[in-house]
Amino acid sequence: MREHIAFRGLAGLLLAAILAVYAIVASRDNGVRGAASGIGAVAAEDPYQRLDWHDTSIALPAQSFTGPDGAPLTLAAFKGRTVLLNLWASWCAPCVAEMPALARLQKDLGGPGFTVITVSLDLKPEDARAFLAANHLEALAFHFDPTGRLYDALKAPGLPVSIFIDKEGREVGRIAGEVPWDEPKARALIRRTEGDAQAR
Tell me if 90 sits within 8 A of 119, measured CB to CB: no
- State pLDDT tens for residues 154-163: 999 999 999 9
Say if residue 29's pLDDT is above 70: no
Pairing relationship of beta strands 170-176 and 114-120 according to DSSP bridges: unpaired
β-strand pairing of 72-73 with 161-165: unpaired
Q: How far is residue 196's CA from residue 190's CA, in Å, rounded to a whole number? A: 10
DSSP string over 158-170: SSSEEEEE-TTSE
Q: Which of 21-35, 76-90, 162-176, 186-200 has the least mean pLDDT? A: 21-35
Q: 72, 98, 56: which is closest to 186 by C-alpha? A: 98
pLDDT in tens, 89-109: 999 999 999 999 999 999 999
In the chain, alpha helices (H): 2-36, 39-44, 93-109, 125-134, 149-153, 184-199
The pLDDT value given to residue 197: 54
Strand partners, 171: 58, 165
HSE of 69, CA atoms in CB hemisphere, 13 A: 3
pLDDT over 50 at 185, yes or no: yes
Give the number of other Cβ atoms within 10 Å of residue 39's Cβ.
13
3-state secondary structure at position 3:
helix
Taking the C-alpha atoms of residue 92 and residue 200, their distance in angstroms, rounded to an integer, is 36
As a residue count, the chain comes to 200
- DSSP element (H, E) containing 54: strand 51-59
DSSP state of 188: H
Q: What is the mean pLDDT of residues 106-128?
A: 97
What pTM was computed for the model?
0.77
Percent of the chain with pLDDT over 90: 74
Mean pLDDT of 56-79: 97
